[in-house]
Amino acid sequence: MSTIKKIHTDKAPAAVGPYSQAIIANGVVYTSGQIPLDPATGEIVEGDIKEQADRVMKNITAVVEEAGTNMKNVIKTMCFLSDMNDFADFNEVYSRYFTEKPARSCVAVKSLPKNALCEIEVIAIL
């Protein structure tokens, strides 16, 4: 029988819709997409792709840690950029957080919630 647990931390933005920050199922953590919202204000952080990507990474880290694991146990990331011209600067920030180089998809999308420049979701193991 599978066990499912919802994850919530105040160190990351609250879900702005009918979803959880993350779900643990059978020892695997599946996060919802995180955009660069400041958890204290609920507002998008000001700045360029590097500043926004850093906030997203902090949000992802908080959710993953609340689930009982860490960034080294992330096995897959799905990254969404509003402009592929930001790819190199995004990677610069990304590489500081994901030192174990998980599998990854990175695509450009037409737009993101609240006009964010990037969004990331991850899959991690406990």
Handedness of CA 13, 17, 18, 24 (dihedral sign): negative
CA dihedral 111→79→43→18, nearest 10 degrees, is 80
Catalytic site residue 106? yes
Question: Exposed (0-12), middle (13-18) or buried (19+): which is 40, by Cβ within 10 Å?
Answer: exposed
Are 107 and 82 in contact by the 8 Å Cβ rule? The answer is no
Catalytic residue among 45, 71, 78, 106: 106
As a whole number of Å, the end-to-end CA separation of the chain is 18
Residues annotated as catalytic are 106
